[in-house]
Amino acid sequence: MRILFLGDLVGRAGRDAAAAAIPGLRDALRLDLVVVNAENASHGFGLAPDMARALFEAGADVLTLGNHAWDRREIIPYIAETPRLIRPANFPPGTPGAGSALVKLADGRSALVVNVMGRLYMDPLDCPFRATAEVLSRHRLGGTVAAIVIDFHAEATSEKMAFAHSFDGAASLVVGTHTHCPSADHQVLPGGTAFMSDAGMCGDYDSVIGMAKDGAGQRFWRKMPGERLAPADGPATVCGVFVETDPATGLARRIEPLRMGGRLSQAMPAA
């Protein structure tokens, strides 16, 4: 299976760039599954239903969220009726939506996508390790599902690495989101799970993690609340990670970063 995961979409620049790129990437890389983290798509904070619909129409199979999941309140009824939009599985019981999605692909195979959120320097949610183990107990990689992708939305690299090693061999890909900076540690772990600490963001990198520089910078100079942060709106870099899996086991054969457009050095996976 050929999988593309795109990191946090930030504002209009990020979501427009991703939506424009997905159709061509699906063809060029012969993708079976496209997963996108969209929790910052709406002005940098949350996701609106019309934006989610546009991303699905562009070719995203599953959208994941994170700590800004509920910043747009109109997403609450939408997520309840949209199984391919998921929020972290370790939110408390009774939270709207689901933390995983089982999707049927065009060739008849099934893939499981899981979204969980870290706890170091983040909201004190339920344990992401135990929440993931519970979801995975209902599925078998290479058996009931052909691939398992886990979006671990977390701040600390140490927590992301510990999480990935904990589920090495049980998932096709564990990829971190949230920091908006693409890491250079993409690798296939000893048990066959592909891992990257952070996929980076889809957004304008002439910014402070996607936000306009002046307002964000002043917050550090003055340590006082100022104007509301606004997304940078320059040319966006589409950032993510590509994984190819073994058809028999669902484990990763290779992992490569993707960076296209905007300011960052370019990287395109081999087709």
As annotated, the active-site residues are 68
For residue 178, the one-letter residue type is H
User: Quick one: which of 151, 187, 127 has its CA closest to 9?
Assistant: 151
- Centre a 10 Å sphere on the Cβ of residue 64 and count the other Cβ atoms it contains: 32
Q: Are 218 and 228 in contact (CB under 8 A)?
A: no
The 173-177 sheet, strands edge to edge: 100-104, 110-117, 147-153, 173-177, 194-196, 187-188
For residue 7, the one-letter residue type is G
User: Quick one: which of 178, 180, 176, 179 has its CA closest to 196?
Assistant: 176
